[in-house]
Structure 1
Amino acid sequence: MNILQVTPFFKPVWESGGVARVAYDISRNLHENGHAVTVYTTNRSIYPSDLPTNRPTDVDGMNVYYFENLRRYIPGATPPVIPYRMPAVAKRETARFDVIHIHDHRTLLTVIASHYARKYGVPYVLQAHGALPDDTGSARMKRLFDVLWAKKVILGAAGVIALNETEAERYRNLGVDEEKIAIVPNGIDLAEYPDLPPRGRFRAAWGIDDATKVVLYLGRLDPTKGIDLLIRSFGEVGQEFGDAVLMLVGGDMGHNEEFRRRVRSLGLDDRVIFTGFVSREDKMAAFTDADVFVTPSFTGFPITFLEACLCGTPIVTTGNGDLLGWVDNTVGFNTAYTPEALAGAIGRLLADDALRDGFSRQAKEIVRTRYNWQAIVHEIEALYATVANGYREPRGG
């Protein structure tokens, strides 16, 4: 098939978040399976880059357009991604594609790509990546986009990809027909993790001995992730496990001082470690050294859950935001979004070595057999073939 992938950011602009990584992994696997893949993206988010712009560039055998993003010329603000040269290229090329896969629905790339897809009768698949709600982040901009374009963009799709049942229900509530919804999770490329770090390296770097229990959060330190709730929960955990530490691994999104105030108010200064942003290698070392990985709230399907599983680290999360049903009692626990419930689930894992070991074995198995990109891209190929033929059969996940 001749496939167009549309994503606001792509390799090597990894700092923009998980959508860039997922779009790249899907595209690369499609290319390796023999499909012709073209990518429309932009050249940067907020950091400088020397990527070639507004012309096709070979990236791992794929034809990638890094459209110049006018956002870089508006300092001190975060306007939408503005690929000003994309309409001319899309007008010229869209009709030759068999199917278009659009990642992240609230972007001008989405508006442009979906417009020309409808104009030339090319089916497109839309993947919102957990971003359907409009009450997080720049809520005002999201609502404005929804008023202007969302209904046409979403309901015009030949198929939509939901990362979990929560997101599938959101599509239904927006009026998407059931037969258009496919639940397809994110995955992980096992080839990118040939050798996991030996246990103890991350602990040694932060002066933590092997006997200390480590509770890990890894991701953006943002209030929407439930960081304050996690700190309060750890205050309860710390009363039972006097040697436990909480490691908050991730870049400061402008809220670290309020998190530090919460830590101080609970008398946890010497028990909570803010590491800041770490390299990918150090991230995997942190997963390997942790006893429990905790993400209180999320949307979509965070890759961090799969990386934790790959390292055999049990997971504790909640149903606040989205819900991943496969976690509960298989690789860890889903629990209520309260300090008491979260503390209880964390404490249960810290106290029971056999329980942690069982979840660890199951976590390693599930990520290798179910949540790897090779298996998932086969599902995506089947979806493409179905929408390209002009119909969809009901699918589950």
Structure 2
Amino acid sequence: MKILQVTPFFKPLWESGGVARVAYDISRNLHENGHEITVYTTNRSIYPNDLPTNRPTGVDGMNVYYFENLRKYVPSVTPPVMPYRMPAIARKEIAQFDVIHIHDHRTLLTVIASHYARKYGIPYVLQAHGALPQDTGSTRMKRLFDLLWSKKVILGAAGVIALNETEAERYRELGVDEGRIAIVPNGIDFAEYPDLPARGRFRAKWGIDDATKVVLYLGRLDPTKGIDLLIRSFAKVAGEFDDAVLMLVGGDMGHNEEFRQRVRSLDLDDRVIFTGFVSKEDKMAAFTDADVFVTPSFTGFPVTFLEACLCGTPIVTTGRGDLLGWVDGAVGFNTEYTPEALADAIGRLLADDALRAKFGEQAKELVRTRYNWRAIVHDIEAFYAKVADNGASVGSPSGV
């Protein structure tokens, strides 16, 4: 099949978040399975780069367009991703594809790609990556986008991919027919993790000895992730465990000073470490060296959960946002979204070496047997074939 992947960011812009990684992993596995893959994306997220723009370039056997993103000209604010050259290319090329997979529904790339898909009768699959709710991030921008485009984009899709049952129910509430919904989790490509780092490397880099208990958060340092709650929870943990530290690993999304102020107000300056954005190697070393991985709030299916499992690191999360039912009692704990509940779950794991080891071994087994990309991409291929056979007309409800 000739498949177009549309994603706001792609390799090598990993700092932009999990969507870039998932879109790349799906695309690469599809390419390895013999499909012809083209990617429409942009060249700018947080950090400057010298990617070629507005023309196809080869990336691991795929044709990738890094459209120049006008966002770079207004760095002091966060406007929408604006690929101004994409319409000219899409107008000429989209009719040639068998199916289009659009990642992240509230972007101008999505508006452009879905418009031409409907115009030329090409079926498209939409994957929101946990971003359907309006009550996270910039709610004003989300409401404006939804008012202008969301119904047309979502109901115009021949199929939608939900990362979990929570997201599938949100699609149903928006009016998507059951037959157009596929629940497909994220996964891990084990070829990208040939050798996990030995324990101790990340600790040594940050001056942490082996006896210290490490509570790890890894991801975007964004208020929607529950960072403030985690810091307040850790204050309670720190009062019980003199040898515990909290490591906040991830790029500054513009809120680090708020988080640092919270740390200072709780007198935790010597117990909380901000590392900034780290390389993939250091990320995996952080997972390996951590005693507990904590993400208080999330939507979708974070790849970081699977990477923690791969390294045998127990997980603590909550039911705030979306819910991953496979976590609780198997690889860690799902708990309430309060400082007390989160601190209690973290403390239970820090105090019980045998429980951490048990959850760690179960986590390794789970990710190897259930959440690997090669198996997951076969499910995605089957869904593509289904929507292609049904034709684009299934994604063109009256009034759209």
**TM-score tier (shorter):** over 0.9
Distance apart, 1:286 and its partner CA = 1.0
Partner of 2:74 in structure 1?
74
d(CA) in 1 for partners of 2:202, 2:46:
29
Deviation at 1:276, TM superposition (A): 2.2
Q: d(CA) in 2 for partners of 1:2 and 1:223?
A: 39
Q: Quick one: structure 1 residues 221 and 43, their matched pair in 2 at CA, closer, same or farther if it must change by over 3 Å?
A: closer
Q: Secondary structure at the match of 1:92?
A: helix
Q: Tell me what 1:165 maps to.
A: 165
Report the CA distance between 1:75 and its aligned residue: 4.4
Equivalent position of 1:259 in the other structure: 259
TM-score (norm 1): 0.95
Report the AA paired with residue 73 of structure 1.
Y
Distance 1:359 1:83, change over 3 A: same
Residues 1-397 of structure 1 aligned to structure 2 (within 5 Å): 1-390=1-390
Distance 1:245 1:184 in 2: 35
Q: State the Cα distance separating 1:369 from its structure 2 match.
A: 1.5
Which stretch shifts more, 139-148 or 53-62?
Answer: 53-62
Q: Which runs of 5+ in 2 are unaligned?
A: 393-400
Distance 1:263 1:69 in 2: 35
The alpha-carbon distance between structure 1 residues 175 and 214, as it changes in their structure 2 partners (threshold 3 A), is same
SS in 1 for 2:293: strand
**CA offset at residue 278 of structure 1?**
1.9
Is this contact kept in 1: 2:299–2:322, CA < 8 A? yes
**Residue 257 of structure 1: SS of its match in structure 2?**
helix
Rounded to whole Å, the distance in 1 between the matches of 2:122 and 2:315 is: 41
Distance in 2 (alpha carbons) for counterparts of 1:14 and 1:260: 24
Partners in 1 of 2:149 and 2:167 — Cα distance? 19
SS in 2 for 1:95: helix
1:325 is paired with a residue whose SS is coil
User: Residue 326 of structure 2: SS of its match in structure 1?
Assistant: helix
Aligned AA for 1:274? Answer: F
RMSD, aligned CA: 1.6
Residue by residue, what CA displacement relative to the aligned partner does 1:74-115 show, whole Å, maximum 9, x if unpaired? 343322222222222222222221111001111111111111
Secondary structure of the corresponding residue to residue 326 of structure 1:
coil
Q: Any stretches of 5+ residues in structure 1 without a counterpart?
A: 393-397
Distance 1:71 1:265, change over 3 A: closer
Percent identical residues: 86
- Whole-Å Cα distance in 1 between the matches of residues 75 and 222 of structure 2? 22
Q: What is the deviation of 1:307?
A: 0.9
In structure 2, distance between residues paired with 1:140 and 1:275? 31
- How far did residue 165 of structure 1 move? 1.4
Cα pair distance change 1:209/1:146, threshold 3 Å = same
Aligned to 2:395: none
Match of 1:395 in 2: none
Residue identity matched to 1:67: F
* Cα drift, residue 198 of structure 1: 0.8
Q: Quickly say closer, same or farther: Cα 1:225–1:46, change in 2 above 3 A.
A: closer
Structure 1 range deviating more: 265-274 or 327-336: 265-274
1:185-206 CA distance string (max 9 Å, x none): 1111111111111111111222
Q: Provide the C-alpha distance between the structure 2 equivalents of 1:265 and 1:109, rounded to a whole number of angstroms.
A: 42
C-alpha distance 261-89 of structure 1, shift in aligned 2 (>3 A): closer
